[in-house]
Structures are given as structure tokens and as C-alpha cells.
Amino acid sequence: GGRNLNLDSILMGLPMSDPTAWATAMNNLGMAPMGMTGQPLLPDFDPALGMMTGIPPINPMMPGLGIVPPPIPPDMPAVKEIIHCKSCTLFPPNPHLPPPATRERPPGCKTVFVGGLPENGTEQIIMEVFEQCGEVIAIRKSKKNFCHIRFAEEFMVDKALYLSGYRIRLGSSTDKKDTGRLHVDFAQARDDLYEWECKQRMLAREERHRRRLEEERFRPPSPPPVVHYSDHECSIIADKLKDDTKFLEAIQTLLTWIERGEVNRRTANNFYSMIQSANSHIRRLVNEKAAHEKEMEEAKEKFKLALSGILVQFEQIVAVYHSASKQKAWDHFTKAQRKNISVWCKQAEEIRNIHNDELMGIRREEEMEMSDEEIEDPPEMKETEESALVSQVEALKEENDSLRWQLDAYRNEVELLKQEQGKVSRDEDTTKEQQMKLLQQALQGMQKHLLKLQEEYKKREAELEKVKEDKLKVESLLENLKEQESSTSRVCACSQEKECPAEKTLSSGLVKSEREVLLVGIISTFLHVHPFGASIEYICSYLQRLDSKICTAEVEVLMTRLQNTFRQELSGVGASLEKRWKFCGFDGLKMT
């Protein structure tokens, strides 16, 4: 009727194909580690650290290259239970102790080291305990109470590590040779390393195959083949060369035929006619370019006219802002309205200046183009006197316009400077007002804080007075009790000396303070709940939850002083010897 170890419910979450094996295999190939779904396995992978294909993989036993074991899954039970087998029983370790230490997990580890076996333990008992973790391939037992167990899969090793720290007992015997404490750790075996390396090579081959398929799938298709030369194809290409929509395809075919060496005496006339058609296409291209240039010039003129109209409108808007900012109308606006008008005016002036600079740049470019054309024109192509006069008049008009725009820009700058000076004075006044408000707010906050401190001080004084009154009452009560004790001690002195000689030792001061009295009461309650006793560490851990300043030495000294209340007993055999404290107050009451 014993329970078997059900470790299948404690799955470690390790898949059959470990992703770290994929990452290591792809790292050996110099590739970025990618999963089967195309997602990166290691986001901080450095390709410069990888190795080229064909070079043997990195030795995993080198220091610093071991694989870190996976973390313990959250579904692992926190409290271990007793495990009953056919010929032995496993008792769990103390849950408050730290987990047993293990070495770094070797890559592909399927072998575990098991120490702390009983001297009378056999391979059958070892098989009975560890076959519940998975299929056991081999057991190598030593004469010094340890063995090596090799499992079929890697995840079975994690199940075996769960048994580390358990105390084993053969049957119901308490003999030292039939007991032991198991220590399970990773073991380094050449067979595991060889199988792991084979697995890495297999994964690397699979990854190369997958990469090859991906490259073939994303490779762009090859261009269609060029047809071979024939008289029929030559006539088709000649017609396509005369068509603007099919000219590009036809000229590529013609170039391929010439490079292949299809030109000979018989086909020379056909090729010459096709080359002539290509030459005639140049005139069409030149005419198309001229049409586009004409469209571009017309678009420039339209843009220039539209820009000049926009500038006129900007000038009118800026004039409205300036007239509104004069004192006649400015005094009637509120502060918020004045602020908005000044911001709008500044924005409008900035945009106006940007458009003005753009228009002036366009006109300068036109002047430079005109001067270049004059330089390039030969002296024989001079204009007549009338055309020269017309050009001079136009140049003077443009200069006049440019000077007018410059004058407007200077005026705007002067007005901006005046406005900025007025704003500076206004800003200074506003900043002073803001500073005064901030100072007033700070003073109010300080006054409130002082009032709060005074109230707290009064409360503390009242509390101190109450404490003093309570202290006086307690002192008076203590004096009354002392007087009563002295009177009773005088009457019963003879009877106490005959019947209770042990009370003299108690009057010497076993309990020194009220704090020790509280500790004795709490410890007595705690041990009364634990009839089989408890260790001093367990008692101190409970007391430290109530007060973290309590130390183990203080509690142990107090308990040793009160021998009629607490008793120390030893339990266990050999290495499992343990000191336990028990409550014996009822027996001590009868004795005293």
C-alpha cells in the first residue's frame, strides 16, 4: 500500500529538441541562431564569434562555453513528501534548508552521480528508486557508497536531481548501514558528450538544408531568354524599334544579337536598318526633352506669379498686425489677446521673409542664366538697339523691385526691434510679479508647516505626560506589592524554609525583566503546540517574526536558566543527532 513516486506530473518543461542545441550548432556554422519558424533564438548573437562551415565545432568542455541548465519550472512542488518504495523509504529534507549545490551541467548530460548510499544498498534498490525517474540504461556502482546512473533522455536527469537531499532507509531498520542521505549531481561522461556532438552535427545539417531551401525560395527569377536571330524575328524587332512603348525591349534584343556575333554579310543590311531606327529615336528623345523643359519653364512662371501674390497678401496681413499693435487699438485688447496678436505677427513675418528670400533666389537664378546666355552667345548674334533698351528697362524694374523688397525688410526689422524692447520691459514686470507670487506661496507653505509641527509637539507633550502618570501609578503599585510580599514573607518564613527550600533560588532572579517574562510565555505556548519538541533554530525563527532583534544565544541562555519549565533532549543517531527543547512546566509545577 505504499505510494510510488509520481514524477511524471513534475515535468521540467524541456522539449525533446533542445533550442540551445540549435543555437550552438548554428553558432558553429557562423550563422545567426534561428528557429524553425524563422524567429531568432539569441537576440544578442555576434556573427564574428561564429565558425565557418567545415571546421569542427567548438569543444563544449572548454571553460566558459558550458550550457547553463534551464531554470526550475514554477509547477515544481515547494514541499517534498515521503516516498515509499518496496524495499526502502525516502524521507524529504528540511524545507528550510537551502537547496543542495550542483555543478555546472555538461552539454547533453544523461548521467548522474549519486552519493550517500547506504552500505547495504544494492543495484536492485538503486534501480527501484531511480527507475521511476525514467528509463535507466546502466548503473555503475562503487564500493564506497556511490554510483553513476545513465538515463535514456536528458530530461530524466532533472527528475533524478529532485531526489537530492532525501534520507533513505532500507526497510524498517535503523542501523547506520541501512540509512544514508542521497546527493544527486550532474556527471560528466564521454558517451553523453559523443551523443551530444552527433546531435549538433545533425542539427547543423538540418539548418544548412533549411537555409538552402530558404535561399532557393527567395531567389529572384531569371530574366526570360532572348530569342535567336531569324529574318522573321528581325522584322518584328524593326517594328518594335519604331514604337516608343516597345523600344526598350527591342533595343536590348538588338544589343544581345550584336554581342552574340549575329552580324555577317547576309544580315548586315538588316542590322543597319535597325541601327538607323535606333538613331531616329534620338530625335524623338530630344523633342520629348524640349517639351518637358518648356513645361518646366511654364510651371516656374506660374509658381513665381503665385508666390508674388502670396507675398502681397502676407504684406497686407502683417500691416493689419502692426496697426493693431499700435497704442490706439492695443489698449483695448486683453493680455491674452495681445499675446496671441504678437505671436501671430511674428509667425507671419517669419513666413513672409522665407517666401521673399525664395522669390529673390529665383530671380537671381534667372539673372545668372541670362548672363550665361549672353556670354555664350557669339558677338555676331547681338540684339538690336530696341531689344537692348527693352532688356535694360526690365533689368531696372527688377532692381527697383529688389530694392523695394529690401527696404520693406529693413523696416520690418526695425519694427521687430522696437516691439522686442517693449516686450522685454513687459516681461520684466511679469517676471517680478511671478517671483512675488512664488515667494508669497512659499511663505504660506512654511507657515502651514510650522503650525503642523506645533500641533505635533503639543500631542507629544500630552503623550509624555500620560506616560509619566502611568509610570507613577506602576511604581506605587509595585511599592504596595512589595509591602504585601514583605508582610506575607514574615508570617510564612518558617514554613517556606521547611517545605520549599528551592524557592530561594527562584528569588535570586531567574527572570530579570518583563521582556524575558513575555519570551517565556511565547516559547511555552509554542512548545505546548509542538509536543515532540523543537530545535533552538526553529524556535528563534518563530520569535524573529515577532521581533527581529531576538538572537539565538539570548533565547538559549533564558531556557537553560529555567530548568523546571524547559528541558533539552537529544534525538537521532550518529550524523542525524539533533537537540530538541520540550515544555515541562506541568511536571515542574508538581516538583516545586
Please give the class, per CATH, of domain 83-198.
Answer: alpha beta
pLDDT digit string, tens, across residues 119-157? 888 999 999 999 989 999 999 998 888 999 999 999 999
Average pLDDT estimate for 545-562: 86
The pLDDT of residue 372: 61
The pLDDT of residue 374: 56
Cell numbers found for residue 326: 499700435
CA distances to 485, 493, 505, 508 from 490, rounded to whole Å, are 9, 5, 18, 18
Same fold, 83-198 and 514-589: no
Look-up: residue for cell 548510499? Answer: 117
Phi and psi based region of residue 237 (left: phi greater than 0; alpha: psi -120 to 50; beta: remaining): alpha
What residues contact 522, with CB distance under 8 A and at least 6 apart? 543, 546
Q: Decide: 526 and 550 in contact? Cβ < 8 Å.
A: no
Burial class (CB in 10 A: 0-12, 13-18, 19+), 408: middle
3-state class of 532 per DSSP?
Answer: coil
- Could you tell me the end-to-end alpha-carbon distance of the chain, in angstroms, rounded to an integer? 49
Question: Which has more confidence, 46 or 546?
Answer: 546
The pLDDT of residue 575: 67
The CB density around residue 21, as the number of other CB atoms within 10 Å, is 19
What is d(CA 237, CA 254) in angstroms, rounded to the nearest whole number?
A: 8
What residues contact 416, with CB distance under 8 A and at least 6 apart? 346, 349
pLDDT digit string, tens, across residues 356-411? 888 888 888 888 877 665 555 544 454 555 566 766 777 777 777 777 777 877 78
Q: Decide: 106 and 69 in contact? Cβ < 8 Å.
A: no
Reported pTM: 0.31
**Whether CATH 2.60.40.10 fits 514-589:** no
Distance of CA 2 to the CA centre of its chain: 48
Q: Single out the residue of 51, 301, 1 nearest to residue 293, CA to CA.
A: 301
Average pLDDT estimate for 10-29: 47
pLDDT digit string, tens, across residues 264-322? 989 889 899 999 988 988 888 999 999 999 999 899 888 888 888 888 888 889 888 88
Average pLDDT estimate for 78-93: 85
Question: Which has more confidence, 372 or 32?
Answer: 372
Q: Decide: 41 and 67 in contact? Cβ < 8 Å.
A: no
What is d(CA 461, CA 456) in angstroms, rounded to the nearest whole number?
A: 9
**Confidence band (pLDDT; 50, 70, 90) for 503?**
very low
The pLDDT of residue 72: 53
pLDDT at 210 over 90: yes
What percent of the chain shows pLDDT beyond 90?
18
pLDDT digit string, tens, across residues 328-367? 888 888 888 888 888 998 888 888 888 888 888 888 888 8
Q: What one-character DSSP code corresponds to residue 34?
A: B
Please, what is the Cα angle at 463 between 457 and 469, to 5 degrees? 140
**Confidence band (pLDDT; 50, 70, 90) for 61?**
very low
What sign results for the dihedral spanned by CA atoms 30, 33, 36, 40? negative
Helices (H), 109-189: 123-130, 155-161
Q: Decide: 186 and 112 in contact? Cβ < 8 Å.
A: yes
The pLDDT of residue 140: 93
What is d(CA 470, CA 474) in angstroms, rounded to the nearest whole number?
A: 6
Residue boundaries of the structural domains of the chain: 83-198, 231-304, 318-366, 514-589
pLDDT at 495 over 80: no
Average pLDDT, the chain: 79
